[in-house]
Amino acid sequence: MKRLIFIFFSLLSLAAHADLKVLATVPEWGALAQEIGGKHADVFIATGGLQDPHRVQARPSLIARARNADLVVATGAELEIGWLPIILRNSGNPRVQPGQPGNFEAARAVRMLEVPTRLDRADGDVHAGGNPHIHTDPRNILKVGEALTARMAQLDAANASSYRANFKDFAERWKAAMAKWEASAAPLRGLHVVTQHKAFPYLYDWLGIVEVATLEPKPGVEPAVSYLSQVMNDVATQKPRMVIRAAWNSPQPTEWFSEHAHIPGVVLPFTVGGSNQAKDLFSLFDDTVAQLLRVSN
């Protein structure tokens, strides 16, 4: 009897530790990994919704998370180049190093936009593989989800069927939501906008919005008032309807431009947790479309 009890509790202990331990670099991939993983995934997200994903401190706590992770889910395309390599290197975990099955880069699953024709650090924070903010197009969420499901199934074959079933359910709900968002956002097609940081080219590509200027003189470089004045004069004839920033951007450039150009400023959540309304992937796009429509009429 004692032996049976020991075996029983040993099996319980194994089950308790059977979760796939996932370290997601940003909230959108953490939310997606949780949708796919369900009860079999233990997901930790390295950054918050109001945090600049380009600039993150490689804290000891994140190194410890990477040391114990089975899977690291990152955007890639050099978004995390300033901090994730330090975490992975110091983790000493061979499973999650670049090129290993435990290292997943979402950008590899989609078509990249704004791929530079030349690389020069004098041009600012330019990403060699293209603009990394792929998640602002919900069509990319599906593509990344399909690839991430396959990777999670590979790493945790015992729960592969559960991962595939979870993603199938998510994809069905996501496609229905996309149809609703696209119908609601139809009035935005062809709308001219100014953007503070080039955070939304994929969103604009999806909705047919036209970006006529950015407030940053170079990606990642804060604009001076003289530069903002120049942008305002340059786009006057193109009649932008709004100026847009991500929730984690500094508010001052957008506020200055909004006041002096006499157009509304719009703050988009950008990712899960970027606003009080954006609590998951679905409400992220609910809020994004709602904020754009709120000032477009």
pLDDT the model gives residue 128:
76
Do residues 90 and 223 both lie within one domain? no
Q: Which of 156, 179, 202 is the last residue of a domain?
A: 179
- Inter-residue contact 233 to 242 (CB < 8 Å): no
pLDDT the model gives residue 7:
40
Do residues 198 and 166 both lie within one domain? no
Q: Which of 179, 202, 236 is the last residue of a domain?
A: 179
- Inter-residue contact 78 to 102 (CB < 8 Å): no
65: which strand partners?
none
**Neighbouring C-beta atoms of residue 189, cutoff 10 Å:** 11
Do residues 175 and 190 both lie within one domain? no
pTM of the model: 0.90
Do residues 66 and 49 both lie within one domain? yes
Residue 126 lies in a domain: no
Do residues 249 and 215 both lie within one domain? yes
Residue 9 lies in a domain: no
pLDDT the model gives residue 193:
98
pLDDT the model gives residue 126:
63
* Number of domains comprising the chain: 2
Do residues 191 and 105 both lie within one domain? no
Residue 258 lies in a domain: yes
Do residues 65 and 193 both lie within one domain? no
Residue 287 lies in a domain: yes
pLDDT the model gives residue 6:
42
Residue ranges of alpha helices (H) inside the chain are: 2-16, 27-37, 60-67, 84-91, 138-155, 160-184, 201-207, 225-234, 252-261, 281-296
Do residues 57 and 93 both lie within one domain? yes
Q: Where residue 251 sits, what CATH number does that domain have?
A: 3.40.50.1980
73: which strand partners?
24, 104
In order, the DSSP letters of 40-108 are GEEEEESS-TTS-TTS----HHHHHHHHT-SEEEE--TTTTTTTHHHHHHHHT-GGGSTTSTTEEEGGG
Q: From first to last of its 297 residues, what are the pLDDT tens digits of the chain?
A: 445 444 444 444 434 445 899 999 999 999 999 999 999 999 999 999 999 999 999 999 999 999 999 999 999 999 999 999 999 999 999 999 999 999 999 999 999 999 887 656 555 566 677 999 999 999 999 999 999 999 999 999 999 999 999 999 999 999 999 999 999 999 999 999 999 999 999 999 999 999 999 999 988 899 999 999 999 999 999 999 999 999 999 999 999 999 999 999 999 999 999 999 999 999 999 999 999 999 876
Phi, psi values for residue 271, rounded to 5°: -145, 175
Residue 119 lies in a domain: no
Please report where in the chains the tokens 């409400």 appear, as a residue: 283
Residue 11 lies in a domain: no
pLDDT the model gives residue 125:
61
Domain around 40: 16-110+132-179
Residue 252 lies in a domain: yes
Do residues 190 and 272 both lie within one domain? yes
pLDDT the model gives residue 18:
54
Half-sphere exposure of residue 142, counting CA atoms within 13 Å on the CB side? 13
Structure tokens at 234: 């340059």
